[in-house]
Structure 1
Amino acid sequence: MTSAAEWQKARFAALDPLLPPPPPLPRGELVEAGGATGTIAHVRFAAGSWQRLWSPAQLQILSAVLPRDARAGMSALLSAWRERVALADAEPDSSCSVTWPSRDVEVARTLLDHGLAPQLALAVRAPAKGEAYSVPGVTVRKSSGGDLEEIVALRFEELRYTSFVGHGVVRPGAEALLAEEIRRGSQFGGRIWLAEEEGVTVGMVTSGKRSPVPGDALAGRLPPGEWGYLGTLAVTAAARGRGIGRALTAAAHDELFSPSLRGTFVSYNPANPLSPVFWHRQGYRPLWTTWAASPAAALR
C-alpha cells in the first residue's frame, strides 16, 4: 500500500520540477486527522529581537503530510488544528501559518476556505546574468562602510511600507535592529547595491549566496546546490516607477551569476501592490507560499 509520504512525494514532483522531495516532519506537537499527519511547532521570539520586526512574537507553524485526497486531508488537519488553537490561550501578537507549494491550487482553495491568507512567497529564477540596464542620472554602486545611515533609512522605509500590506511590524528600536542586521550581513559576505541620484541615495538591494543545508530555513525548500538571493529591495517613494529597482537587480544578478549557480530566489508578500509584478518581470515565479492568520480569525 502506498503511504501518504509517498503520495506527497509524487504529488510534489508532478506539481513543480523544482520542488525537492519532502523532508520528514519536523519535531512538534503531533496532530492527525483524515489520513493526514502534521506537527505544530511553537515558536516565540524574544522581546527586542530582530525577528519581531518581520513576525508576530509567537508563531504556530504547521507542517503536513497529506494523503492522496490532499484537499480533504488538509481540511481535516486544519479543523483539528482549530480545536487545538481554540483550547490554547493564544496571545494577540501571534500567528498560525503553513507553507505549501504555490502551484498546488487545490490545497490553496482549502487554505482559503479555512481563513488563511497568502502572506509570503518564495520565488525562484533560472540562473542568468543580469541584463544591463541604466537610468539617466542614476548611478548604481556597491555600498561602503560609510553608507550605513542611508541604508538604515531605506530599510526603515521599506519596513514601514511592509507593515501596512504584510508581515512587517514597526517596533520600538527598529532602526537599531536594522543597523545591527546590516552589519551582520556584511560580515557574512552579503552585498548591498545602492542607487544614487545627484549624490542622494534613492534605492538599494541586498544580495548574496546560500546553499540549503539540513536544519536551516532553506532545507526542503530548494534543491541542493549554490543559490543566489536578493534580499531587501527598497526605492524611495519619490523615485519609484523609473526603473531604478530594475537597474539595482540587474547589477546584483550579474555579480551573482556563475556557471555552477542553481538559480536565484527572493521572498515577497503577495498582497503587496508593488512586489509581485516587479519580481515576475525580473523572471521570478513563486515556488512556495506561506499562508497565515491570527488565532482569533484562523482556521474557521
Structure 2
Amino acid sequence: MDLISAHRDRLRALDPALAIGAEPPTLELTDHVIRAGGGLALLRHRSADPADPHSAWGPLRTSQLTCWHDGNLSGLVDLVTDAVAAAAAHWRLDASDRETCLAAFSPARDTAVTAALLETGFAPISQTGVLTDLARLAPAHELPAGHTIAPLSEATDEQVLPLIEALGDEEADYLVTYPRPVSPARSLVAEARSSGARTSFVTRSGKRVVGIVTTNEPGTSDDPADKPWFARSTSLARVGYLGLAYVVPDFRGRGVMSSLVTAAHAAQREIGTRAMIADYSVTNPYSCSLWHKTGYRPLHHTWRRRVPVS
C-alpha cells in the first residue's frame, strides 16, 4: 500500500468522524513537495489583502503545511524541519514577522504529528470541535431575571456589531485574529442572517443586547462534494456550524452563554441537523473549557509558527 493510502487508513481508524479525501490536492506552481523521514509534505503559500475583512482570521502571508506519514515521530520531525526550511527559503525574511507564518492542521487524535509540531516550534492556536449527537445535550442554565432570548434579525444589527468587534479584539489578544483596516463584523452578521436566520440568537438584558450566538444551517445536498465549507472536515452528514459566540464580560458566569447555545442547538435539531462543528481558540483560557462542557470534542488542531529569518 502506498504512503498516502496507508496514512488515510490510519486516520480513519483513529477517528471515524474525520473527512478523508480520496485524492491528494492538485499541485500549484508555487507548491513545495518535500520528502523526508519516510513521509511526504506539501507546502502551499498564500498571501492575503489586508483590505479584505476576512484577512483578520490569520497572518497575511502563510505557508500551509500538509503531511502524509506513517506515525514515526523521528521521521515526522525531519519532515517538518525540512518544511520549515523551505518556507524560510520561499519568503526570505530579513527579520521575524508576525504576519508571515507557517500553519498546519492536524487531526486531534494523531498524537505523532502533535509531538512533531511541538518539537519543531509550532504552537496550537485553535481547535475544530465536533458535537456528534445533538439529541444528547445538557440542559441549559435558567436565564437570569430580566433576560430574554430572541432570533438574530436586522433590527438587532446595530447592537450586535459592537459585540462582534469586541469578540475580535478579545481574540486578537491571543493571536487568533489580527487587526485590519476594515472590520469583518458587518459582513459576519449579514452572513449569519442569510445562512442561519432560523438558528442564530441574541440575549437581551432589558432592551440591551448582551450576547449572541450564530450558526450556519447544513447544506441540502447529500453529495460530499457539495457540502458547505464548514462540513468538509468531517465525514458526518447534516452538519451545522457554530460560528460566533460572545457575551458581554459583565454578564458572564450567569448561564447566558449556555442558554444561547442550547437555543441554537435546539433550533438546529428542529431543522434536521445531526451534528455540529465549531472553531474555537486554544489560547483563550475561557474558550476550550466552555465548548468541551457543551459537548464538543476535538476533531482538528490548527497550529502556527513564525517563518524563520533566512
Give TM-score, length-normalised by structure 1: 0.90
Structure 2 gap segments, 5+ residues each: none
Please report how far the alpha carbon of residue 64 of structure 1 lies from its aligned counterpart in structure 2 after TM superposition: 1.6
Q: 1:148 aligns with which of 133, 151, 157?
A: 157
Q: Is 1:268 the counterpart of 2:280 in the alignment?
A: yes
Please report how far the alpha carbon of residue 103 of structure 1 lies from its aligned counterpart in structure 2 after TM superposition: 1.3
Q: Which letter does structure 1 place at the counterpart of 2:289? A: V
Offset from partner CA, 1:114-144 (integer Å, 9 cap, x none): 0001111110112325535431221111022
Offset from partner CA, 1:69-93 (integer Å, 9 cap, x none): 4323321221211221232335621
Please report how far the alpha carbon of residue 22 of structure 1 lies from its aligned counterpart in structure 2 after TM superposition: 4.2
Counterpart position of 2:180? 171
Q: 1:97 aligns with which of 98, 103, 111?
A: 103
Q: Is this contact kept in 2: 1:25–1:39, CA < 8 A?
A: no
- Alpha-carbon spacing, 1:171–1:47, altered in 2? closer, same or farther (3 Å): closer
1:1-300 matches, within 5 Å, as 2-26=1-25, 27=27, 28-66=31-69, 68-90=70-92, 92=97, 93-129=99-135, 131-137=139-145, 138-174=147-183, 177-190=184-197, 191-211=199-219, 213=225, 217-218=229-230, 221-258=233-270, 260-296=272-308
2-structure distance, mates of 1:150, 1:250? 22
1-structure distance, mates of 2:100, 2:252? 33
Q: Which letter does structure 2 place at the counterpart of 1:124? A: V
Offset from partner CA, 1:174-209 (integer Å, 9 cap, x none): 2xx311232133233454310111211111000122
SS at match of 1:165: coil
- Alpha-carbon spacing, 1:276–1:63, altered in 2? closer, same or farther (3 Å): same
Please report how far the alpha carbon of residue 168 of structure 1 lies from its aligned counterpart in structure 2 after TM superposition: 0.8
Structure 1 gap segments, 5+ residues each: none
Q: Which moved more, 1:79-88 or 1:273-282?
A: 79-88
Q: Structure 1 runs of 4+ off > 6 angstroms?
A: none
Q: Is this contact kept in 2: 1:193–1:205, CA < 8 A?
A: yes
- Alpha-carbon spacing, 1:60–1:216, altered in 2? closer, same or farther (3 Å): farther
Q: How many residues align?
A: 294
Q: Is this contact kept in 2: 1:32–1:77, CA < 8 A?
A: yes
- Structure 1 vs Structure 2: percent identity of aligned residues? 23
2-structure distance, mates of 1:220, 1:187? 20
Q: Which moved more, 1:207-216 or 1:81-90?
A: 207-216
Q: Is this contact kept in 2: 1:90–1:295, CA < 8 A?
A: no
SS at match of 1:56: coil
Q: Is this contact kept in 2: 1:205–1:234, CA < 8 A?
A: yes
Offset from partner CA, 1:230-272 (integer Å, 9 cap, x none): 1110000111111110000000000001585331111111111
